[in-house]
Amino acid sequence: MSTPSQGSGCLLTGINLIAALMRAILTTIVGLLAALYQIFLAGFKFEQIRNKSGFVLFWVTAVVFFAAGAILTRSARPANSVANEAPLVVTVLVTRVAQAQANADAATATPVPPTATERPSATPRPTSTPTATATATLIAETATAIAEETAAAQATFNQIASQTAVAAAATATRAAHLDGITATARAISATETRRAAQATQTREARAATSDYLAQFADIDYRELRDYADQHEGEKVCIRGRVFNIVGDDTLQMYFAGTYDGAYVEFERPFTGIYEDSTIRVCGIVYGEYSFQNAMGGTVSQPALYLAFIP
């Protein structure tokens, strides 16, 4: 039969066993919670805190793990543990939060420009980069067809160019021919105009000559021989034979069939008149012209001046 003291000892032993068992269980649960929280923190991206839903999820999870860890570790903590030691979840949480804040500060930090003066550097000239163009490989039939079409087009172009050159040459030839015809026509027209003018002048000269010659009339040599002074200034014509060439514009002649002489002075120098030449002379009656002959005697003869051979 057991005593009360023995019963109390057994109860105390059982309570101690249960307490040790609970402590072991709590320690295991704390370890599991710490491991789970480590896994949670390892997979959680702190950039998600920047939005509203990520912020709420993070802090709710942190509070739950913190409360659970504080409750469980309070009873499972050994007696000789430091009273002010922070739970593992809090330490890990604070560390990750500090890391996230440091990363955020580094990302948002304003860069400070360097105070050192940079030396000017030469600006490199742009270099042309050749652009490679992919060349399609044509099928043999396609390449042949294209070559034939190109050759045909080139032949057509050459034919058109040749025809154009021939047409241009023909046009130039026609233009030159027309220019020649025009020049010839102009020359002919000028010649005809000149001939017409000359003919007109000739007709006018002949008409004038005819009118002028009409003023001269043949006169009986006896009338002129005996009464020369009375016919002074008249326009007359006489016939006779040359017997003396006084100069290149002066001669003496006998009236035809006689040895009665006349003194004749021409308008201009004459040619083709010799001694013993028989001529018809027209001129203006001067009257009696007196001169000394070779013997020193004075001779008077009827004279004509501004004479000509009609």
Burial of residue 194, with CB atoms counted within 10 A of its CB: 0-12 exposed, 13-18 middle, 19 or more buried: exposed
Query: What is the separation of C-alpha 246 from the centre of its chain, rounded to a whole number of angstroms?
Result: 86
Q: Angle at CA 298, nearest 5°, toward 292 and 301?
A: 90
Tens digits of residue pLDDT in 115-152: 555 555 555 565 555 555 555 555 777 888 888 888 88
CB atoms within 10 A of CB 310: 10
Domain 217-308, classified CATH 2.40.50.140, yes or no:
yes
Q: Determine the Cα–Cα distance for residues 239 and 256; give it in Å rounded to an integer.
A: 6
Please list, in sequence order, all residues whose beta carbon lies within 8 angstroms of the beta carbon of residue 146, skipping any fewer than 6 positions away.
138
**Other C-beta atoms lying within 10 Å of the C-beta of residue 228:** 20
> pLDDT tens digits for 159-210?
888 888 888 888 898 888 888 888 888 988 888 888 888 888 878 888 888 8
- Assign 83 a pLDDT band (cuts: 50, 70, 90): very low
**Scanning the structure block, which residue is given the tokens 């004749």?**
264
Contact 268, 283 (CB under 8 A): no
Q: What are the sequence ranges of the domains in the chain?
A: 15-105, 144-214, 217-308
- Tens of pLDDT, residues 37-48: 777 766 666 666
Residue pLDDT, tens place only, 196-226:
888 888 788 888 888 889 999 999 999 999 9
Taking Cα atoms as reference points, which of 41, 29, 32, 33 lies closest to residue 94? 41
CB count within 10 Å of CB 34 equals 18
